[in-house]
Structure formats: C-alpha cells, structure tokens
A and B are shown apart, each in its own frame.
Chain A
Amino acid sequence: MISDMNPEGIVGEYSESIIQLYEIGPRKVLVTNNEVPYPDGRLIVSRTDTKGIITHVNRSFVEMSGYSEEELVGAPHSILRHPDMPRAAFKDLWDTITEGRIWQGYVKNLRKDGGFYWVKATVIPNIRKGRIVGYTSVRRKPDRRRVEECIPLYASMKKKEQEGSQ
C-alpha cells in the first residue's frame, strides 16, 4: 500500500499537492526544492511484477529514494511519482512495455524527504519462456542539457493535462 507523505520526514520548506494514482486514488505528497545530484558511476535498479509492484531494489535505489528496502518492496512504483511529471509520460511507458518493448525517458522522482532527483530511465519487460513476467528499470546519470529540455516540456504537458481535465 501507499500512504500520504508525513510532514515529519520532510527536510526544509515544502508545498502540498494531491496526485491521482492509477487504481489507487489520491495521494497527498509533500515536495521541496532540494535536488539531490545523481551519484557518479552508479545504476539505480528496480524490478516490478506485471502490475508495477516493486519486487526488488538495489542499494543505490534505497539510498537515492530515502525509503528503506522494507518500505519499497511490495509498494507500487508510483511511490516515487513526482507531481511535476506529466501523466502522459507514464501512459507512454506502460503502453510501450506491455507490448514487450523497451521504454526510455527522463524522469523526475520524488524522495521520501520531499526532495527530488532526475534520472535517465530504461525499462525492459522481463520475458521468460515467451511471457512477460515483470519489468526491470535501470536508471543512469542523465546529461544535464537533456534534463533542462525536459523541465519546460513536462511543465507544458502538465498544463495541458490540467486544462483538459477541467
């Protein structure tokens, strides 16, 4: 399960948003402006079942997300969903991987402490004996210039999504 974020764990000034999660419903998230730089030389790796429930995380994932392994395994991957990310990005991700193809994109992730970090993510379906049995996401350090291009792009996508839903 996935609960609202707790103000006690937040480092620094924060603002509140409500995000709508697929098949879960609303979640209150608390976000700050603290960006945590991606650690050099590391890959942040997680695996999920076919529904997007986390089944495995590596040490770099635990360190960057701020959650413990126990909190992560069994939780939906949207536990990292940042309110600045447009819904369309994740729709594209799920449309691609459920077809058995690889998805790649830049993602802004939300930490347990309200801070955020940018990654270049590649998600691959785990195909065993011809069936998709889960997914693996491997994140690496992004080129800052690509991130700077995504910031206004994602903001305008979000704006359109909000206008569309009114």
Chain B
Amino acid sequence: MSYKFTVSPDFSPDYLSGWFIFNTWLQRALGRSFHLEMMDNFQQLHQAIDEDRIDLIYANPYDASMLVRDKGFVPLVKPRGGADEAVIAVRADSDVDAVESLFPGIKVASTDDPDVHLMGMIMLEPAGLSHDSMEIKQCDNYVLVAKALLKGECETGIFLDKAFDELSRPIQSQLRALVRSEIQVIHHSLMAGPRLQAEVGNLRRVLSTMEIDPKGQGVLEGLGVSGWDLVDEEETEFMIDLMETLTYSPD
C-alpha cells in the first residue's frame, strides 16, 4: 500500500523539487511507499482532506484544527525556528506612517495563505478595518503583492515575513514595513493521518534525526529547513485554541 503525502499549497515554489526529494528520502528512511501529490489551491486540498485521501501533510496552522480535531491527525514535527509571521507594508513614498492612519475603503493586496492573511487582518484591526471595510486583491504570490503596491493598485499589502525579506533589493527599496507580527507560536507542521498511526513513532524518529544523517542534511537544505523539532499534541492543541481566538467573530 502507498500512503498519500501532500504539502499545503502555500509552500514557496523555490522548494517544489525539494519536497519531491524529501519524499524519496522519507520512503527510503521508513521503508514505506509514499506518493507525493501537490494541490493547486486550498480548495482542492480541503476536498482531499474531507474525502480522507491524505495520510501525511505539511500543514498550514489554519488547517490544524480540522486535521487534528475532525480528522484524527497527529502532529509530528515543525521546522526549527520556523514560526510564521506577517508584515504589513506600504509603498516607501506613502504618507501612511502607522496602521492607524489607514482608512476604511482602502485596497489591500494579499494572498490565499490563510494564516498569513489572518495575522495581517489582526494587525489592520486597530485601524477599524475588517473584511467589510476594505477591498482585497488576492494575488498568487508575494512578488505580485509587492507589484500591486508599486503600481499603486493597492495602498497596503500583507506579506509572509520571509517572503517580504526575500524580495529583490530594487523592489524592497520601494516598500516600507509598517508592522511586523511577533506571535512566535503559529507554525506549519508535518502531521500524520489515521492510516499512518502505526508509523508515528518511526516517523518522529527518522525526522528528528534527519539533520545528523549526511543525506538527510542535504535534503533539509533543499527545503530551506535547518532541522525538524518534535511537536507534542498539547503544543498543537494550544496553537489550535490560539488560532480559534483569532478567527472568532461574535456575529
């Protein structure tokens, strides 16, 4: 039998081949067969999860609640130092010097990365801004978010911090960060589904020692990860509760 592995569609395209190489490494390390299938978007991913077609997933924190509480997934590992954080930025020549000087009716460039978008929205809230009082331009990636600002199509943009910091020099010099989140506990994680339950111990062992395996080291580099840290269930439950406080809206 072959297990189905997928990566949350918000992964950086730079690491596409890295994930396929990781899949090959994992099959050797575990002596089990995995089939890696990339999804085009979150809708496709959620349908696959809903139909119980996924056994192993590199999951966005936004999906953790559904995976753990509805689908019986268990967390395995997270990337070391890999908390997700968001940046709110404007064009460098903009008059706006703080989130509080943004006004209802503005256009905001963002992506469909659910956790980054959520953190961005939380940082816009002090200006009285919500989905109802802004127009959102959904872009396919963070370079396009930057371009929407540079072309003047949007007044502000929501970025994943790493993506913002990796924008090319010429683009970055024309942008200015207004706020950076420092939340520190929202992170992606690898999670195993019910059919992989018997392999959880082995998965944790091979993943947590991957960085000391000479082959494993190179594979990690291809993902931009220095090593995997074990995640226990309570850490994930805590993150899920925290995400629920951020998505909660009384009406």
User: In whole Å, how far is A100's beta carbon from the nearest beta carbon of chain B?
Assistant: 12
- Chain A's interface size range is 20 to 34
Stretch from B150-158, B188-196, B234-242 contacting the other chain: B234-242
Is A4 at the interface (CB under 8 A from chain B)? no
Which residue of chain A lies nearest to B127 when distances are taken between CB atoms in the complex?
A143
The residue from A124, A126, A143 contacting B126, defined by CB atoms under 8 A apart:
A143
Which residue of chain A lies nearest to B87 when distances are taken between CB atoms in the complex?
A41
User: B99–A40 contact, CB under 8 A?
Assistant: yes
A21-45 contact mask (Cβ, 8 Å, vs B): 1 or 0: 0000000000000000010111101
Cβ contacts under 8 Å, B99 to chain A? 40
User: B248–A43 contact, CB under 8 A?
Assistant: no
Cβ contacts under 8 Å, A45 to chain B? 185, 242
Which residue of chain B lies nearest to A59 when distances are taken between CB atoms in the complex?
B184
User: B128–A40 contact, CB under 8 A?
Assistant: no
User: A41–B242 contact, CB under 8 A?
Assistant: no
A102 with B100, Cβ < 8 A, contacts A128-B237, A141-B125, A141-B126 known:
no
User: A136–B238 contact, CB under 8 A?
Assistant: yes
The residue from B123, B245, B250 contacting A40, defined by CB atoms under 8 A apart:
B123
Is B180 at the interface (CB under 8 A from chain A)? yes
Which residue of chain A lies nearest to B234 when distances are taken between CB atoms in the complex?
A128
A140 with B125, Cβ < 8 A, contacts A104-B250, A124-B244 known:
yes
Which residue of chain A lies nearest to B249 when distances are taken between CB atoms in the complex?
A104
Is A131 at the interface (CB under 8 A from chain B)? no
User: A126–B179 contact, CB under 8 A?
Assistant: no
With most chain A CB atoms within 10 A of its CB, the pick from B185, B237, B241, B246 is B241
- Per the bound structure, the CA–CA distance linking A120 and B250 in Å amounts to 13
User: In whole Å, how far is A58's beta carbon from the nearest beta carbon of chain B?
Assistant: 8
Cβ contacts under 8 Å, B182 to chain A? 41-42, 60
User: A138–B245 contact, CB under 8 A?
Assistant: yes
A41 with B180, Cβ < 8 A, contacts A140-B122, A143-B126, A143-B128 known:
yes
User: B183–A42 contact, CB under 8 A?
Assistant: yes
User: B126–A104 contact, CB under 8 A?
Assistant: no
A124 with B250, Cβ < 8 A, contacts A41-B123, A140-B122 known:
no
Cβ contacts under 8 Å, A141 to chain B? 123, 125-126
User: In whole Å, how far is B162's beta carbon from the nearest beta carbon of chain A?
Assistant: 15
The residue from A38, A41, A102, A142 contacting B245, defined by CB atoms under 8 A apart:
A102
Is B181 at the interface (CB under 8 A from chain A)? yes
The residue from B181, B237, B246 contacting A138, defined by CB atoms under 8 A apart:
B246
Cβ contacts under 8 Å, B248 to chain A? 102, 104, 122, 124
User: In whole Å, how far is B247's beta carbon from the nearest beta carbon of chain A?
Assistant: 10
Is A91 at the interface (CB under 8 A from chain B)? no
Cβ contacts under 8 Å, B183 to chain A? 41-43
A136 with B127, Cβ < 8 A, contacts A41-B180, A42-B182 known:
no
User: In whole Å, how far is B235's beta carbon from the nearest beta carbon of chain A?
Assistant: 12
Task: Report, nearest first, the 9 A-B pairs whose CB atoms are least far apart.
Answer: A122-B245, A138-B245, A141-B126, A41-B181, A41-B179, A40-B179, A143-B128, A136-B241, A102-B248
Pull 13 A–B residue pairs with CB atoms less than 8 Å apart, ordered by A.
Answer: A41-B181, A47-B238, A58-B185, A102-B248, A122-B245, A124-B245, A128-B237, A137-B245, A138-B242, A138-B245, A142-B126, A143-B127, A143-B128
Using CB atoms and an 8 Å cutoff, list the residues of chain A in contact with chain B.
38, 40-43, 45, 47, 58, 60, 102, 104, 120, 122-124, 126, 128, 136-138, 140-145
14 more CB-based (< 8 A) A-B contacts, given A40-B123, A47-B238, A104-B248:
A41-B179, A41-B180, A41-B181, A41-B182, A102-B244, A102-B248, A124-B241, A126-B238, A126-B241, A128-B237, A136-B242, A142-B126, A143-B127, A144-B126
